[in-house]
Amino acid sequence: MTPPEYVRPTTIPEALNALRGGVALAGGTAVARRAREAARLVDLQALGIDQLQVEGDHVRLGAMLRLQQMVEAELPAALDEACRREAGVNLRNMASLGGTLLTCSGRSPLATALLGLHAQVRMEPGPQQWSFDELLARRGSLPGGLLITSVVFQVPLAMAQSAVARSPADRPIVCAVVARLAGRAPSFGVALGGFGPRPIVIPEAELALAAGDVPSAAEAARTACATALDAWASAEYRAEVAATFIHRLAGEVGV
Ligand SMILES: Cc1cc2nc3c(=O)[nH]c(=O)nc-3n(C[C@H](O)[C@H](O)[C@H](O)COP(=O)(O)OP(=O)(O)OC[C@H]3O[C@@H](n4cnc5c(N)ncnc54)[C@H](O)[C@@H]3O)c2cc1C
């Protein structure tokens, strides 16, 4: 079997060119398993997209930031905690933000936190920007040759997260994030994870919190768990925990 061609572009145009018929290689922790199936591996590490930048009240996280670099940066505490819960330190040292978001399941605390922040994803060719929610929705049918360059979010006025797992090191069975987003009118991000193919935003809970109605927000979280049954937990258990979390987190962000 012919081994894949390996290239390490240093500019975005070079990378986009190489990605036509190639597979992006970030941390390689997921891609390595099927690397031999690729005709060409396009190593993203020399593109300079591994910076964390603060631009006014926005934070831009380069797609090639390693999760451990995010833990070591000064991020909102709830986002930092989500990075720690995402993986142990060995994996955090290798896995990139972009690779994690493209491969995450519903049990990803980091993806849940970024959904709660209403994060945007910047991509080439373009540049084009989608909400992270849209990227997750379209993950199965992304056009070939797409390169994620960064993830951007506005610094929240307050943010809180909570998670329950079978052990402290395990991925959560339920995790929830509530962010009080910046803006003139009260506005909130509410996301739930711990099950299914991807974490979810709960728009009904966001609207309820904006109206100061915490019980309705908790009820929306409960409803979102109606079919969240799998090998790790029942839907009833998750519904109860999710509602409790939303009550608690709403208090923590000052609703
Ligand atoms: C020991 C171990 C345990 C793991 N446990 C879990 C787990 O519990 N849950 C889980 O979900 N995963 C798990 N993984 C899988 C993997 O670690 C994660 O999905 C990881 O976060 C992927 O990040 P990466 O940077 O290594 O991505 P890569 O493997 O480099 O890439 C993943 C995918 O994303 C694409 N990609 C990466 N970056 C970009 C970009 N900037 N633009 C466009 N495309 C891009 C790649 O082409 C590839 O298709 C585990 C892996 C290992 C080795």
The 10s digit of each residue's pLDDT in 67-93 is 999 999 989 999 999 999 999 999 999
At 87, list the tokens.
């993986």
Q: Which residues contact 129 (CB under 8 A, 6 or more apart)?
A: 120, 121, 122, 123, 152
Is the minimum distance from the CB of 16 to ligand 1 under 6 angstroms? no
Strands 172-181 vs 128-131: parallel, antiparallel or unpaired? unpaired
Name the residue range of residue 11's domain.
5-43
Query: Do 116 and 62 fall into the same domain?
Result: yes
The whole-number pLDDT of residue 188 equals 98
Query: Do 103 and 177 fall into the same domain?
Result: no
- Out of 110, 132, 154, a domain closes at 154
Atom of ligand 1 nearest to the CA of 44: 41
This prediction has a pTM of 0.97
Q: Which residues contact 240 (CB under 8 A, 6 or more apart)?
A: 222
The whole-number pLDDT of residue 186 equals 81
The whole-number pLDDT of residue 215 equals 98
Total domains, the chain: 3
The whole-number pLDDT of residue 1 equals 72
Q: What is the distance in A from the centroid of ligand 1 to the CA of 26?
A: 8
Query: Do 215 and 173 fall into the same domain?
Result: yes
The whole-number pLDDT of residue 202 equals 98
The H-assigned helical ranges of 67-197 are 67-72, 77-86, 89-94, 97-103, 109-116, 132-137
Nearest protein CA to atom 52 of ligand 1, as residue: 29
Domain of 237, CATH number, reads 3.30.390.50
Query: Do 129 and 173 fall into the same domain?
Result: no
Q: What is the distance in A from the centroid of ligand 1 to the CA of 30?
A: 4
Ranges of the chain with pLDDT below 50:
none
The whole-number pLDDT of residue 144 equals 87
